[in-house]
Amino acid sequence: MKPVYFDNAATTPLRPEVVNIMTEVLNTSFGNASSSHSFGRSSKTLIEKARKTVANSLNVSAGEIIFTSGGTEADNLVLNSAVRDLGVTHIITTKIEHHAVLHTVEALEKAFDISVSYLDVDGKGDIDFTQLERLLQTDKKTLVSLMHVNNEIGNITDIKRVGSLCKANNALFHSDAVQSVGHYKLDLQTIDVDFIAASAHKFHGPKGVGFAFIRKNTGLLKPLIFGGEQERGLRAGTESVHNIVGLELALTLMQEQAETEHNHILDLKKYFIDEILKVMPKATFNGQSGDFEKSTYTLVNVCLPIPANKASMILFQLDLKGVACSRGSACQSGSNKKSHVLSEILSSEDLEKPSLRFSFSKFNTKADIDYVVDVFRVYR
């Protein structure tokens, strides 16, 4: 059995350099960053350096970066604050967002009696910009929440276009950028987005740390977590210094090696598609994941032409062979429910077929793909 990890959209392995620097920080910079003595000041310095690094990568000011426990907390902070503190009474989103957004919006709808509009998506998972523009023409205080890169089907949303529409209609714009930060160069001075969410473990950093970008002058926000004045008073709790430093280095290395790694991973994606079609010519690719221009270079979501009696065992068989992939978001792993994303875009016939997400990283090789494709030969 050869272990092959193709579930990088769920989480990525840490880079060795990140492990090393986190270990060093754990050993030498253990002071509480809120303490006034030298040990605390040392930790505080590391946090503020990391904040500047993240801000510079997005071309924003350091004061607009709030460290969180990850993308889910960042999404919750932004969406709750927008409704509770900024007076948003109307949210526009889609039903193929990550559950960190969908479930938060559902809770806000019940708690604050706001209105929610769900944009239509076509069979490829793309939004209707004409509908978006129409929904934005309202007297209500509106926030649009659309993810940059879909975590299941890889579709890339034109957030620059969305931002321009929002600005023209005096609406706020939030984007869950968990699958894109670190993988794409985002200049937030050229994109009219008010908030984004990001998570370090999607770009070879540690789990348990991420950040929210909150554009200055959007209004006075209040924290979700109370107890201290950390993170500009927006996120109480002793900062996880080693995780924040790990995030900083992981993001820095992603940017330094961006072109080389992007080309390597895109080459793997193209090779995977070519090889799987040789074995299963009738395989199709969900959303835009088979389109190299309209989807992220990091993943493929493939619908396999396999009979139902064989389909139920395919993930089990792959796992026995040491292959890690997924049916969809890791956050719904263990659930018997079908992917909420695929349920919105696939026909009932295609929903009965097995759809698997394979997501790649710098650590994967073509030999890994050959091994996986060979597993599928018995299903022809």
Q: Which domains does the chain have, with CATH numbers?
A: 4-12+258-379 (3.90.1150.10), 16-255 (3.40.640.10)
Could you write out the three-class secondary structure of 89-153? CEEEECCCCCHHHHHHHHHHHHHHCCEEEECCECCCCCECHHHHHHHHCCCCCEEEECCCECCCC
Long-range contacts of 41-46 (CB under 8 A, 24+ apart): 43/239, 43/241, 46/241, 46/244, 46/245
Pairing of strands 284-285, 4-5: unpaired
User: What's residue 377's pLDDT?
Assistant: 86
Q: What's the full length of the chain, in residues?
A: 380
In whole angstroms, give the CA distance from residue 344 to residue 102: 14
Phi, then psi, of 6 in degrees rounded to 5: -120, 45
The one-letter amino acid code at 281 reads P
The mean pLDDT values, 10 residues at a time, for the chain of 380 residues are 94 98 97 96 98 98 98 98 98 98 98 98 98 97 98 98 98 98 98 98 98 96 95 96 98 97 98 97 97 98 86 83 82 65 96 94 98 86
User: What's residue 334's pLDDT?
Assistant: 47
pTM of the model as a whole: 0.96
The answer to whether the beta carbons of residues 236 and 223 sit under 8 Å apart is yes
In whole angstroms, give the CA distance from residue 29 to residue 242: 8
Give catalytic residue positions: 331
Structure tokens at 190: 């050229």
The one-letter amino acid code at 105 reads V
Sequential DSSP letters for 327-351: SS-GGGTT--SPPHHHHHHS-HHHH
The DSSP code for 181 is B
Q: How far apart are the first and last CA of the chain?
A: 21
Pairing of strands 284-285, 299-303: antiparallel
The answer to whether the beta carbons of residues 356 and 9 sit under 8 Å apart is no
